[in-house]
Amino acid sequence: MKDQVERASRWIYRGVWAVLVRWFRVPEKPPTLPTPPGEEAVSFRPAEGFLRYLKLKFWIVLTLVDGAVLVGWIVVTAALPWLGVILALPALVIAVFPDILAYIAIHLRYDTTWYVITRRSLRIRRGIWIIHETTITFENIQNITVMQGPIERFFGIANVVVETAGGGGRVKEQHGGQIVSGHTGLMEGVSNAAEIRDLILRHVRQTQTGGLGDEMEHAARPAPAAAWTAAHLALLREIRDAAHALGTSST
C-alpha cells in the first residue's frame, strides 16, 4: 500500500514536472558556467537536509493552520450543528488542498534551485515562475556570511551569503520569502558550507585589488623591467659588447 502511494505520488510529481518543462519552459538541465578547457563546473542542488528542513517547517505550519481550521469548525458545529454539516466539506478542502500544493511547491523549489561553482565564479539559479540566475565572480566578492539556525544545525545545513560591492536596501522579500536582490548571492541549505566558504575566501584573499575594477591601474602600466624579453636582453648584451669594442679600439 505504502509502495503504491509512493509510486503514484512520484508519477504525479513527474507529470507536474513535465508540464513545467514543456508548458512553462522551466529549464530541465542544470545551469553551467563557461570554463576553460580541462576545468569542470560543479553543479549541485541544496543538500538533502534542506528538503527535510523545508518539510519540517511545512508540517509545523500545517499543524497550526489545520488545527485552527479544525478548532473553528468544532466551534461552529457546537453552536450551529446544521451549519457545521454544510461547512464540513469546504473546511476539509481548505485544510487539505493548500497543503498538497505547498508540499509540491517545496519539492519544486528544491528541484529548481541550483548552484554552480567553478574555480573563479559561482552561479545561482532559483525560481519557478520567475527564474532568476545570478553570476558572480569570486574576484568581486567583498564578504562572505555563513548563517545557521538551531534547526538547520540539526539537519546539518547552513546558508552561505556572498556579497559584492554596493548594495543599499539589499534584502527584498520576493518569491515567498526568498531573498532576491542585487549584490548578494544566497546559497541556502548547503551541507558543505565550510568548504564553499574556504574556497571563496582563499580566492578573495589572493586578490590584490579592491574588487571594484581598479586592477586596470596596475595592468595598464606594466613594470618596465617586465617588458624586457630574452630577445631584448640578448640585443642589449650585443650592444654592450659592441660599445666595449668601440671603447677599447679607440683608445
Out of 18, 70, 75, 245, point to the residue binding other proteins (CB under 8 A): 245
Bridging pattern class, strands 114-117 and 42-44: antiparallel
**How near is the Cβ of 155 to other proteins at its closest, in Å?**
29
**How near is the Cβ of 251 to other proteins at its closest, in Å?**
10
176 forms part of the interface with other proteins (CB under 8 A): no
Q: What is the DSSP letter of 115?
A: E
For the chain, the distance separating the N- and C-terminal CA atoms, rounded to the nearest angstrom, is: 110
Do residues 122 and 115 touch, judged by C-beta distance below 8 A? yes
Nearest-angstrom CA–CA distance, 68 and 76: 12
Which of 99, 114, 47, 40 is CA-nearest to residue 69?
99
Do residues 181 and 172 touch, judged by C-beta distance below 8 A? yes
Out of 24, 59, 97, 154, point to the residue binding other proteins (CB under 8 A): 24
**How near is the Cβ of 135 to other proteins at its closest, in Å?**
4
Nearest-angstrom CA–CA distance, 120 and 39: 11
| CB closer to other proteins, 1 vs 130 | 130
- Which region among 41-49, 80-88, 166-174, 193-201 touches other proteins (by CB under 8 A)? 166-174
Nearest-angstrom CA–CA distance, 96 and 88: 12
- Pick out residues in 42-101 that bind other proteins (CB under 8 A): none
- Which region among 20-28, 42-50, 55-63, 91-99 touches other proteins (by CB under 8 A)? 20-28
Q: How many residues bind other proteins (CB under 8 A)?
A: 62
> What cell numbers appear for 196 in the block?
564553499
Which of 160, 146, 138 is CA-nearest to residue 211?
138
22 forms part of the interface with other proteins (CB under 8 A): no
Residues that bind other proteins (CB under 8 A): 24-26, 33-37, 120-121, 129-140, 164-170, 172, 181-183, 185, 207, 209, 211-213, 215-216, 218-220, 222, 226-232, 235-236, 238-239, 242-243, 245-246, 249-250
